[in-house]
């Protein structure tokens, strides 16, 4: 039964991974071969790598609305079709505006994929395994990021960008039969849609909705925005050229290898964090731990450390990243089961996209005005404050729970005494 529950999650995660190949390949290839894409300036590279995220902000509510009217299978089919078109276009169109359109198409594809994946997990999960399945889903689709970065860069150098995009687009095309056979064809019910409408009006009033959304925003801004975009920069500032085990390694290479390691361990570690949070302790204590650990690692990184110890700290920070993302996504899934799933998860994906979009701009603005060290210490303070908030919130809820338990116990004893006298 457990294997049957996991099967749809594994399939949708692997489909997402295949679709992600072309996008992550572009992050490695475009900054190096931008002339071959017909671009005339480096600012165009930055726009092309970020526009897919910005286009999702206004379109995500529309995608959420469509998932009330079309099946998850149809939504994922649309996503895969747009992925095939956009990935193929990366290798065969020239010039900024044509590539701009292709990146916008990918943004739409990712909006359908991400929400379709979350909804698939919510359909098959319950309180006992929701964190585990969220972790498995996140971990498996991360393989696409790893393969896209490593294989994309290596293959482009050896066989050219056109051949690579044809291979990646073909792999996405081959995944369509798996969409047809394994992605659920059900459409959200009328009750779910009515619940969604009600949730849209009161989405911020539900228990834990605002804390989860704020946490999702800060998590995305810190890890997907600030850290991901500045790792190579702080590596260059601290260690312009490293000599490890007799080899000289450049800052960009080191940052790329370190980030690839995170993509590689996601399928194995993320589900374990999710399963831990499914247990008796719940998700909040693990989230508090992750936030405080993240604050500590960010505070240490700008210090004058030995290269090997610095790399260890970065790896531990990335482990904390995996833990935080898994727990925050699981908390969002928990909240969504109490009201309209589609509207809550749509809102959450928008919030995460906003955080990831503003993170790089915020990071480089702070580093320009002050320094990279100041940026990382400010980020550390942000995570520490968020961890403190969840800790205080958790303590208050436990105290309220004990008061309720005491009241229930007094009521039960009084009732039993009265019943005894009556007898």
Of residues 338 and 209, the one with the higher pLDDT is: 209
| pLDDT value at residue 412 | 36
Separation between Cα atoms, residue 346 and residue 112, nearest integer Å: 10
Question: Closest by alpha carbon to 161, among 296, 335, 29, 350?
Answer: 29
CB 223 within 8 A of CB 370: no
Reported pTM: 0.76
Query: Domain segments of the chain: what residues?
Result: 1-187, 192-423
| pLDDT value at residue 82 | 95
Tell me the percentage of the chain whose pLDDT exceeds 90. 23
CB 370 within 8 A of CB 235: no
Separation between Cα atoms, residue 404 and residue 397, nearest integer Å: 10
- Which tokens hold the place of 417? 């005494």
CB 355 within 8 A of CB 218: yes
Examine the pLDDT at 1 and tell me if it is beyond 60. Answer: no
CB 284 within 8 A of CB 390: yes
Q: How many CB atoms lie within 10 A of CB 422?
A: 6
Helix (H) or strand (E) holding 89: helix 72-92
Of residues 198 and 223, the one with the higher pLDDT is: 223
Pick the CATH number of 192-423 from 1.20.58.710, 3.90.870.10, 1.10.20.140, 1.20.1250.20: 1.20.1250.20
CATH H-level superfamily of 1-187: MFS general substrate transporter like domains (1.20.1250.20)
Q: How many CB atoms lie within 10 A of CB 210?
A: 13
pLDDT digits 0-9 by tens, 261-298? 887 888 888 888 888 888 888 888 899 999 999 999 99
Angle, helix 2-29 to helix 42-66, in steps of 10 degrees: 150
CB 259 within 8 A of CB 228: yes
pLDDT digits 0-9 by tens, 370-414? 888 888 999 999 999 999 999 998 888 777 765 554 554 443 345
Of residues 177 and 206, the one with the higher pLDDT is: 177
Separation between Cα atoms, residue 58 and residue 147, nearest integer Å: 30
pLDDT digits 0-9 by tens, 318-364? 999 999 999 998 888 888 776 667 778 888 888 888 888 788 778 87
pLDDT digits 0-9 by tens, 110-141? 989 988 888 888 887 777 778 888 888 888 88
CB 215 within 8 A of CB 331: yes
Q: pLDDT band at residue 14, thresholds of 50, 70 and 90? A: very high
First to last CA, the chain: 49
């Amino acid at each position: 039964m457990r294997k049957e529950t996991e099967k749809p999650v594994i399939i949708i995660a692997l489909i997402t991974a295949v679709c992600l190949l072309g996008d992550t390949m572009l992050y490695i290839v475009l900054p190096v071969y931008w002339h071959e894409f017909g671009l005339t300036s480096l600012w165009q590279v930055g726009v092309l790598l970020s526009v897919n995220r910005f286009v999702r902000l206004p379109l995500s509510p529309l995608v959420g609305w469509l998932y009330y009217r079309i099946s998850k299978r149809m939504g994922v089919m649309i996503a895969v079709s747009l992925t095939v078109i956009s990935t193929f276009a990366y290798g065969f169109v020239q010039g900024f505006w044509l590539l701009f359109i292709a990146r916008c198409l990918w943004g739409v594809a990712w909006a359908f994929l991400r929400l379709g994946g979350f909804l698939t997990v919510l359909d098959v999960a319950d309180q006992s395994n929701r964190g585990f399945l969220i972790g498995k889903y996140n971990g498996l689709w991360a393989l696409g990021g790893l393969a896209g970065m490593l294989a994309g860069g290596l293959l482009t150098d050896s066989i050219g960008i056109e051949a690579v995009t044809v291979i990646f687009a073909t792999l996405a095309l081959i995944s369509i039969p798996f969409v047809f056979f394994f992605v659920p064809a059900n459409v959200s019910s009328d009750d779910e849609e009515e619940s969604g409408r009600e949730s849209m009006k009161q989405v911020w009033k539900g228990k834990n909705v605002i804390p989860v959304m704020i946490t999702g925003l800060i998590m995305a801004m810190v890890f997907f925005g600030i850290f991901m975009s500045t790792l190579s920069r702080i590596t260059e500032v601290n260690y312009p050229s490293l000599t490890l085990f007799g080899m000289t390694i450049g800052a960009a290479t080191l940052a790329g290898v370190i980030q690839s390691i995170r993509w590689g361990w996601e399928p194995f570690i993320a589900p374990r964090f999710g399963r831990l949070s499914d247990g008796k302790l719940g998700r909040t204590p693990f989230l508090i731990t992750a936030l405080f650990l993240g604050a500590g690692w960010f505070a240490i990184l700008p210090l004058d450390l030995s290269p090997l110890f610095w790399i260890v700290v970065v790896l531990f920070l990335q482990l904390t990243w995996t833990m935080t993302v898994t727990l925050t996504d699981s908390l969002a899934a928990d909240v969504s089961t109490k009201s309209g799933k589609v509207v809550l998860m749509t809102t959450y994906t928008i919030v995460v996209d906003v955080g990831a979009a503003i993170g790089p701009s915020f990071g480089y603005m702070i580093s320009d005005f002050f320094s990279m060290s100041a940026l990382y210490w400010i980020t550390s303070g942000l995570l520490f404050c968020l961890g403190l908030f969840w800790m205080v919130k958790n303590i208050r809820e436990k105290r309220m729970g004990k008061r309720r338990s005491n009241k229930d116990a007094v009521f039960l004893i009084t009732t039993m005494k009265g019943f005894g006298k009556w007898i």
